[in-house]
Chains A and B, each alone.
Chain A
Amino acid sequence: MFSTASRTLEITVISGEDIRNKRKPVKKNVFAVIRTDSQPLCRTETDKDGGSYPYWNEKHNVDIPVHARFITVEVQCKTSVGDKTLGMATIPVSDFVGGFVPQSYLHFLSYRLRDSNGERNGIINVSVKAKVPEYAASSCSSATTIGVPFGKTSCYGGVVPGVPVGVPIMKQYYQG
C-alpha cells in the first residue's frame, strides 16, 4: 500500500432516520455498507431494535484512494431472502476534505437516501474525520483537539415532518 496514494478516514456511521422498504417503515435488521469505487470499505452490524430509526454509532477506520471523489453509503436490510438495498447516498469527498476548516475537523454529515428508482428514502447520519499523519498534525497544531464524539445522543433530534421531535422543550442545552 502506498501511503501517499490513500488517505485514512475515521468514519462513524451514526444512525438512520425513517428508513423505508416499499414506503413502509422497516421493522428491523438494517445495516449500512460504505464503499468507494464500488469497493466495500466497511459495514455496520445489523441493528435489531431500531426499526426504521437504526442506530449504530460504529467507528471505522478506512483508507480511500486520494483520487476518490466520492464514497457511497448503502443502507440495506437483512431479509429471509437475502440482503436488500433500501437506499443509497453519495458523499462527495469535498464535503470533508479541503476548505478552510482544520484538516482533522470532525464533520457531522447527513444525507438523503434514495432507492434504486431514485425515490427519496430516509436520512443517514455519519461523522467523518480525516486522519492527519503525525508530522502534518504537528505543523498545524493550532487545530482544536477534538475527541471521540457521541456516547448517547443522536446528532439530530430525528425530525420527521409533522411529528413532534424528541428534544427537551425547555432548556435542552444540557443535552448531549
Chain B
Amino acid sequence: MGNCCSDEAGGRAAVGGTAASQDNPINAPNDAVSHFLNSRGYHGLYSQIELSYSASDLRDRDLLSKSDPMVVVYTKGRDGTLEELGRTEVVLNSLNPTWITKHTISYQFEIVQILVFRVYDVDTQFHNVEVKMLRLDEQQFLGEASGVLSEIVTKSNRSLTLDLVRREESSRSTRPRNYGKLTVHAEECISSKTTTEMILRCSDLEYKDLFSRSDPFLVISKVVESGIPIPVYKTEVIKNDLKPTWKTVYLNIQQVGSKESPLVIECFNFNSSGKHDLIGKVQKSLADLEKLHSGGQGENLFLPSLVGQNYHNKVLKSQLFVDKYTQNIQHTFLDYLAGGCALNFMVAIDFTASNGNPRLPDSLHYIDPSGRPNSYQRAIIEVGEVLQFYDADKRFPAWGFGARPIDGPVSHCFNLNGSSHHCEVEGIQGIMMAYTSALLNVSLAGPTLFGPVIGNAAQISSQSLANGGRKYFVLLIITDGVVTDLQETKDALVKASDLPLSILIVGVGGADFKEMEILDADKGERLESSTGRVASRDIVQFVPFRDVQGGEISVVQALLAELPTQFLTYMRTRDIQPIS
C-alpha cells in the first residue's frame, strides 16, 4: 500500500490547486470534501452571534412625548447594497431604550461583515402595525451608525458604542451633531460552544476491494431543507478492516444545526482513484446517536439500490455502534479574542526579477496610474482588511525579499519601509505606501528564498512569547515563483510549527506552483526538515491567486478561513485559557 502513496499524493496535489467548484461531490476526483464545501460557500469559522441593542440620548422627535424608537439592522454587501437583517420592537416613550428583540447572524472570520443600524421614531398612529409591515419612509429617521462585526466581537465586553449620524450630514461632513449613541452587544450562541465527542465503530462491513478487505472511512453530513446533504466531518481511513473503530469524532452542535437535526452517516471504501464506494449509511440525529450509545445497541446500515425505476433501501447486516458519547462546552475562538488574545499580521513581498520591470505594464509589480491594484496589492488588501480588526495596535511588520536595496547586496529579508531598524508600518495603508516606495528604491534580483523571512517571523513570535504575549502571528508571503530554497524553507517551517504562527502563501502570476503545494500539508505529506524533525502541526496554507479572479467566494477567504482552527489548535494543545 505504501508504494502507491506518492502517486496518490501527486494526484491529490494536481487537483488540490484548484478550488474550483465541484458540482457533484461523488464525481469529485479526490473526494476533497473541503472543495465541495468551498464551492458552496460553507467554510470557515461558523459561529452564531446574537446581536442586542441599546441607545442613549436619542433625539426627541415627538411634540408631546418622547420618541418611540426602533432599530433596523442591515448587512452591507461588498457592492454596498444593504440587506435587511431584521427589526426590533418599538420601545415607547424612551430616549434611552434597551430593545428586547435580538438578531442572529453567522460570524465569518474570513469576511469583513459590515452592519448598518438605522434608528427610527415610529409614530403613534403606526403602533398597532406589525414592525415588519412598517414603511420606513413614513417614519421619522433618528440616525444611523455602522460597524464591523469583527470589531464588536473582539471587544472584551463584546459591546461597541457607535455615534448615530444623519445620512445627509455624514456625507457633507459638517460639524457632527449629537444624535445619540447606539450600543451593539454581540453574544455567541451557546450551541456554538458545545461540542460532542463520539467514538464510532462499524461491524461486519462488506468487502469492496478485490484482493483485500475494505478501507473504510465515515463522512457525516447534515441534511438541510433543500435535501442536499452537506458534509460536516470526515474520519480517517482505516486500512484493510471490516470492523473499524475510528478516532474520536468531534462535532459542534452549531455545525449540525441542533441535537435533533438529522445527520447522514455514510461509510465509504477509500479508493485512491477518488471514486470511493459507498458501503452503507444510516440517518441519525445526535440525540439518536446518544441513545444508541446509552443502549449499547448497533444500528444497521442500509444501502440504496436501484430496483426497477425506484431506489430501495437494502438493509445490511453491517452495524454502526457508538462506543463513546460525551458533550462539553469549550472555549471558542471568540472567547480567546475577547480574552485578550490577538492575531498579528505580517507581510513579506517577493521582489525577484521574474516579476518584470515595475515600470512596464506587463510587470506583476506595475502600479497602474488608474489606481487599479496589482495582484500584490490585491492580496495585501484582501488579507489585511480582514486581519486588521484582530490586531489592536495595527502595526504590521512588512518585509521584501529577493531584491537589492540601494547599492547593497541582494537581501532576502529587508524592511519594506526602508528603515534599517524597525520593520513595522502603520495600518494597511502603511503597507501599501511602503510597498510602492520600496518599488522605487530597490532593484529586483533573485533567487526566491523564503527561509530568512520565515525565520524573522518565527523570531518575532518567539520573542512575543518570551515577553508573555498572548499573540498569534500570521505571515502573508506573496510570491510570483517557485521557492529556490525548498529545504531551508521546510526547515524553517518545521521549526516554526511549534510557535504561535501561521503562514499564508499567495502565488501571483502564471508560474507553475505545483512545487509549492508540498509546503501545504493539506495536500501531501507532513513537512520534514533535513534533520528528520517533522512539523508538529500544519501551519502553511498555499493558494495560487489566479484562482481568485472571478467567482464570488475569493480563495483568499478560503485561506483565511483556516486560521481560527490553527489558532485554536495551538491554544488548546497547550491548554492556554482565555482570560475572562
Contact = CB atoms under 8 A, between A and B. Distances in A.
Contacts of A65: none
A148 interface: yes
B95 interface: no
Contacts of A114: 532
Contacts of A101: 462, 465-466, 499
Nearest to A114: B532
A97 interface: no
A25 B289 CA distance: 32
Interface stretch (B4-12, B73-81, B83-91, B429-437): B4-12
A161 B525 contact: yes
Given A149-B574, A171-B44, A100 B466 contact: yes
A66 interface: no
A176 B573 contact: yes
A155 interface: yes
A152 interface: yes
A169 B569 contact: no
Nearest to A23: B2
Contacts of A164: 31, 217, 234-237, 270
A98 B54 CA distance: 52
B465 A108 contact: no
B565 interface: yes
Contacts of B236: 157-158, 163-166
Contacts of A137: none
A174 B465 contact: no
Contact of A112 (B5, B333, B528, B576): B528
A171 B330 CA distance: 14
B466 A171 contact: no
Interface in B531-580: 531-538, 564-565, 567-569, 572-577
B521 A175 contact: no
Contacts of A23: 2
A163 B538 CA distance: 16
A153 interface: yes
B197 interface: yes
Interface in A87-103: 89-90, 92, 95, 99-102
A147 B573 CA distance: 9
Given A146-B576, A164-B270, A173 B37 contact: no
Of the candidates B42, B332, B524, B575, the one having the most CB atoms from chain A within 10 angstroms of its own CB is B575
A130 interface: no
Contacts of A100: 459, 462-463, 465-466
Contacts of A95: 533
Nearest to A172: B565
B67 to A, nearest CB: 42
A125 interface: yes
B45 interface: yes
A92 B537 CA distance: 19
B466 A110 contact: no
A5 to B, nearest CB: 26
Interface residues of B, number: 79
A109 B499 CA distance: 11
Interface string B1-29: 01011111101100000000000000000
B250 A172 contact: yes
Contacts of A163: 8, 236-237, 270
Contacts of A161: 5-6, 8-9, 524-525
A68 interface: no
B498 A171 contact: no
Given A171-B44, A173-B332, A108 B232 contact: no
A89 to B, nearest CB: 6
A174 B567 CA distance: 11
How large, as a class, is the contact surface on chain A?
A: 35 or more
A89 B529 CA distance: 13
B533 A111 contact: yes
B420 interface: no
B533 A171 contact: no
Interface string B313-352: 0000000000000000010110000000000000000000
A19 to B, nearest CB: 12
A174 B330 contact: yes
Interface in A126-176: 142-144, 146-150, 152-176
Contacts of B531: 92
B42 A170 contact: yes
Nearest to A96: B498
B195 A162 contact: no
A114 B533 CA distance: 12
A107 B532 contact: no
A67 B237 CA distance: 44
Contact of B498 (A108, A148, A175): A108
B470 interface: yes
A106 interface: yes
B272 interface: yes
Nearest to B197: A152
B99 interface: no
A166 B235 contact: yes
B468 to A, nearest CB: 3
A176 B572 contact: yes
Contact of B234 (A144, A169, A173): A169
Contact of A176 (B8, B459, B538, B568): B568
A171 B39 CA distance: 15
A164 B217 CA distance: 9
Contacts of B251: 168
Nearest to A52: B239
Interface string B192-224: 010101000000000000000000010000000
B270 A170 contact: no
A174 to B, nearest CB: 5
7 contacts: A108-B497, A112-B533, A147-B577, A161-B6, A164-B234, A169-B231, A175-B565
Given A102-B465, A164-B235, 11 more contacts: A25-B239, A92-B531, A108-B498, A110-B526, A155-B573, A156-B537, A156-B538, A164-B31, A164-B234, A171-B254, A175-B565
